[in-house]
């Protein structure tokens, strides 16, 4: 049992989960060249069996107010970029507010050129979110089942339900950006933005409802296997003594 405790403790210590006090993403306050998008930090939280949330703190979120009229307007969006390490697919969770479309929350996967430059963002699903000027936070909640793109082939995402997050899988290179968009004649262009550098990895620590083991949490399977090995080892040791 002592061995079991040591193994479980070691596994737990290798898992990093961020918080407002210890965020995965950090940025200098006051470095935005335009108002309403001054990102300060970002972190992953509220992981459950089915979802996880990304918090972005914006110092001047109260100034992110769309203006103008439809088709000739200034709008705002905040994006959290991250790479799902098992498949090396880049995802973007986005919150946006515009005069024409109102408040929206969406998830995309990103296709890249051979040079490594982003080529296209493919829309995957609407997600849940919150735009809270009181806490200065934009919160994006992503269902784990949506993180299921195995590759992008011929400009089309290919889905594989076995590739969703499992315990120990990591999100790497998380970053964030806030963008002010200007629309003229139906075409948007970025008037200014604030971007962060890549932050620290996040490790999934809660087994999904449906996993590779047919729905039984992977962590429990691992623990049972360890216990069985310990029991069998004990039985063999007793027989040898006899």
Q: What is the pTM of this model?
A: 0.81
Give the C-alpha distances (Å, rounded to integers) separating 155 from 91, 111, 119, 120: 15, 7, 10, 8
Is residue 230 in some structural domain? no
List pLDDT tens digits, range 154-173: 999 999 999 999 999 999 99
Is residue 56 in some structural domain? yes
- In whole angstroms, give the CA distance from residue 80 to residue 43: 10
Is residue 48 in some structural domain? yes
List pLDDT tens digits, range 88-105: 999 999 999 999 999 999
Structural tokens at position 211: 């996993």
Which stretches of 170-213 are DSSP H helices?
A: none
Q: Band of the pLDDT at 219, cuts 50, 70, 90? A: very low
Is residue 154 in some structural domain? yes
Print the domain residue range for 22. 18-208
Domain count, the chain: 1
Is residue 76 in some structural domain? yes
């Amino acid at each position: 049992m002592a061995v079991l405790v040591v193994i479980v403790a070691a596994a737990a210590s290798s898992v990093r989960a961020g918080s407002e006090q210890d965020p995965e993403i950090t940025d200098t306050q006051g470095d935005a060249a335009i108002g309403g998008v001054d990102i300060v930090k970002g972190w992953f939280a509220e992981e459950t069996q089915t979802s996880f949330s990304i918090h972005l703190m914006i110092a001047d979120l109260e100034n992110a107010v769309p203006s103008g009229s439809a088709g000739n307007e200034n709008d705002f969006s905040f994006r959290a970029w991250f790479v799902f390490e098992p498949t090396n697919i880049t995802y973007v969770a986005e919150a946006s507010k515009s005069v024409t479309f109102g408040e929206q929350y969406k998830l995309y996967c990103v296709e890249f050129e051979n040079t490594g430059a982003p080529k296209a963002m493919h829309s995957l699903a609407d997600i849940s979110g919150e735009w809270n000027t009181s806490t200065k936070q934009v919160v994006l909640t992503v269902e784990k089942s949506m993180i299921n793109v195995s590759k992008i082939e011929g400009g089309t995402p290919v889905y594989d339900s076995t590739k969703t997050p499992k315990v120990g899988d990591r999100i790497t290179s998380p970053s964030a950006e806030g963008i002010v968009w200007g629309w003229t004649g139906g075409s948007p262009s970025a008037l200014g933005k604030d971007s962060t550098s890549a932050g620290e990895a996040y490790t999934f620590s809660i087994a999904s409802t449906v996993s590779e083991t047919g729905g039984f949490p992977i962590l429990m399977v691992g623990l049972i296997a360890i216990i069985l090995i310990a029991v069998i080892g004990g039985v063999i040791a007793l027989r040898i003594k006899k």
